[in-house]
A and B are shown apart, each in its own frame.
Chain A
Amino acid sequence: MHDSIYQHGDDLVITQRTPVSDSVVELTLQRGNGGRLPDWAPGAHIDLILPSGRVRQYSLCGDRWQAHQYRVAVQRDPRGSGGSQEIHDQLRVGDRVRFGGPRNNFRLAPATEYRFIAGGIGITPLLPMIQQAEHLNILWRLLYLGRDQRRMAYRQLASRYSNQVTVHTSGHGHRASVKQWLGTPDPHTLVYACGPEHLLDALPDECAVLPPSQLRLERFSSPLADVPVSRESFDIVLSRSGRRITAKSSDSVVNVLSDAGIDVITSCSRGVCGTCEVGVIEGRVDHRDALLDDDERSRNDCMFPCVSRSLSDSLVLDL
């Protein structure tokens, strides 16, 4: 007996598409049935699986108090490998994408003061952090760096929080001094920064006034992000009996196993709690859970079959 509202598919529908700068489009995503989405906290990102099969990771930049929608902002990258262009040129309101996660490698830890540094589209994970700092009434400041104003998606922050936000454009050739902006912060200050590599690489020196543990960086790219996802079917092989079951790419592995008479106990059904973990003996997993970090994913020795599937033609499970 299954309650439909708890059998979460991972299809999202694009319900709004808003250009927010010359090069950035903001997408609002909801479930087809309008149901609740997995919870997240500032710093989290989701994997979007585009219609082409490309997988891209985007920070959630919306409001977690709205449990039925996710928001991401995507900057067109003409030199990228095609994900952002696919989103900009092809995705329209009403189109569907799949998602994985949310996962969070950039958690907002407790502090007495936050300093946020955004390079261009790196502003996205910082937006919900700013909202949270406001909510908790904790002092924060933002240094928002970009090449030119027209590309900066959330420059209205500067008028809303004029005392806290410093916008700096490098279009005229001179770079911002993070060190000067940082000054002498309270010793319990945490610095959160997201942006291009050259910015992040310079920050440990620029922020040397604080211990390294107080500087948190989020990089744009993950080595796992470029793996394309097959939309074909795959085989599940049960190592103990040798049985082979074919799964369509749209089915959850838990449901496929259940239809074959093998019940794996689940609890949250959305890759969050870890109850259904199954050992993987062979094959490459299409990880869609919120639990494993990148290292654990690449080890490829376990999966959470309530949400994760297969990248390879077959998956040998320890069942």
Chain B
Amino acid sequence: MTSLAASRCPFSGATGAPSSSADGPATHEAPRIASTAAVVDVDPFDEAVLANPHPMHEQLREAGRDLVYLPQYDTYAVARYEVVRETLENWQDFASGAGVGLSNFNREEPWRAPSLLLEADPPRHDAPRAALEKILGPRRLRHYESGWMDTAHRLVDSLLGQGIGSTRELDAVTAISEVYPLQVFPDAVGLTQGGLENLLPYGNFAFNAFGPRNRLVTDEMESIKPVMAWVAQQCPREALSAEGFGADIWARTDHRDLTEEQAPMIVRSLLTAGVDTTVYGISAVLYHLASNPEQYQRLRNDPSLVRRAFEEALRLESPVQTFFRTTTREVSIGGTTLPTDQKVLMFLGAANRDPRRWENPDAFDLDRNPSGHVAFGSGIHQCAGQHVARLEAACILIALLERVEHLEFAAAPERKINNTLLGWASLPLRLHTT
């Protein structure tokens, strides 16, 4: 489980650049297709690779072509920034309705009813998307801002105590990242029945299920069933409080903008995609701040940089690492024509560190403008909850900056392994308070 990736964690011994791909021998022209895709014989879902994907990302980007072929999964992949972004945005040629994981819903049964957002295409995608865009838009979220800020202050005070000049050691994942989102988000959705401990396992499973049927999926097949049942119970109108994102979704059925079949499925989308991702995002920024103490000091001196710090951490970590699309017709990428109904794997994390797009891409740099990173995707499927993630991260960071003079690792961090998400199981930090 333990592996140390990336920038300047003092326990990794590494100083930034991911290791060279010279040991990957398998880059050559594809023999079996009359095309120019580069064949790269790697397994992106191998657990060692999932724990430290950056060397493989470099190999995929530098294989010589915009399009790569992965023989192990008989699938194509894109890893360079421009082509990843084009693929994300081109919903006409690259569909989501056949699933955004390895499994092709045109041929295989999905593990649950497909999402009306993530796993749908226009026109069916339109109404659910339009509803969530308004409900989770930055203007609506202002209503939650002061409450979420208060909650962040209370959490940080409870962790650090009221004393000044002291030092606290804690695991930032289990004490902060996995705690704060669960203190604000379920309440904002309007969950009322308890059982919040189901949310993290549910999200974890959903993101594992985009990958192959490896141990990460099969080990949880049985235990996830009661979790799925609990999630389904939270989605009906009568289960939700009278105010909140859930009630807002249901209110749309009164105006006939959504159907009564769609509403609970959209609430389910919030519960699937709205918790783990923010947990991972908060961990990402805490990891990079602990790895770059001078950047933490800059942030303390100028807290207006918190939003940039979060975006820069998302760029580097890309909590959601990969999504698939499926071609709707013959389509050309980088001179290679792909057939219809062909899966294409997009490496968001590789795009976000592509040196063609980013100078010194592996550095966590608050002087950089991280605009245009694809950690939230791009185009019509761009994360509908991105403003929720930003607000949560900003609140908890501001609360920490006010109390914590500097922070450092107390022990080596540990990776969490997931087929789709890149993040931390443990971030042992030492916090020095003012």
Residues of chain A touching chain B, judged by Cβ–Cβ distance below 8 Å, are 1, 3, 5-6, 36, 39, 41-42, 64-65, 67, 104, 107-111, 132, 135-136, 190, 213-214, 258, 263, 265-269, 273-275, 277, 291, 296
Contacts and interface: CB of A to CB of B under 8 A. Distances in A.
Nearest to A302: B139
B382 A273 contact: yes
B371 A110 contact: no
B127 interface: yes
B258 A65 contact: no
Contacts of B373: 267
A42 B130 CA distance: 12
A269 B371 CA distance: 9
A135 B372 contact: no
Interface of B: 81-82, 85, 89-92, 122-124, 126-127, 130, 137-139, 254-259, 262, 307-308, 311, 357-359, 369-373, 376, 378-380, 382, 386-387, 390
Given A109-B257, A135-B123, A277-B138, A265 B369 contact: yes
A136 B81 CA distance: 34
B138 A265 contact: no
Contacts of B90: 36, 67
A114 B382 CA distance: 29
A41 B126 contact: yes
A224 to B, nearest CB: 18
- Mostly, the A contact residues are loop
B372 A269 contact: yes
B359 A267 contact: no
Contacts of A273: 382, 386
Given A67-B90, A263-B369, A265-B369, 18 more contacts: A1-B359, A3-B372, A5-B82, A6-B372, A39-B91, A41-B126, A41-B130, A67-B92, A107-B127, A110-B262, A111-B256, A265-B371, A266-B372, A267-B371, A267-B372, A267-B373, A267-B382, A277-B138
A258 B126 contact: no
A261 to B, nearest CB: 11
B258 A110 contact: yes
Contacts of A190: 256
Contacts of B307: 265
* Residue of B138, B262, B370, B371 with most partner-chain A CB within 10 A: B371
B92 A65 contact: yes
A304 B390 CA distance: 17
B178 to A, nearest CB: 26
Contacts of B370: 265
21 contacts: A1-B357, A1-B359, A6-B85, A39-B380, A41-B126, A41-B130, A67-B92, A104-B130, A107-B127, A108-B127, A109-B256, A110-B258, A136-B123, A136-B124, A214-B256, A265-B369, A265-B370, A268-B382, A274-B137, A274-B138, A275-B138
Contact of B311 (A64, A265, A268, A269): A265
B357 A107 contact: no
A275 B372 contact: no
A267 B376 contact: yes
A273 B89 CA distance: 13
Contacts of B359: 1
Given A136-B123, A265-B370, A274 B387 contact: yes
Contacts of B130: 41, 104, 107
A217 B256 CA distance: 14
Contact of A3 (B82, B91, B376): B82
Contacts of A266: 371-372
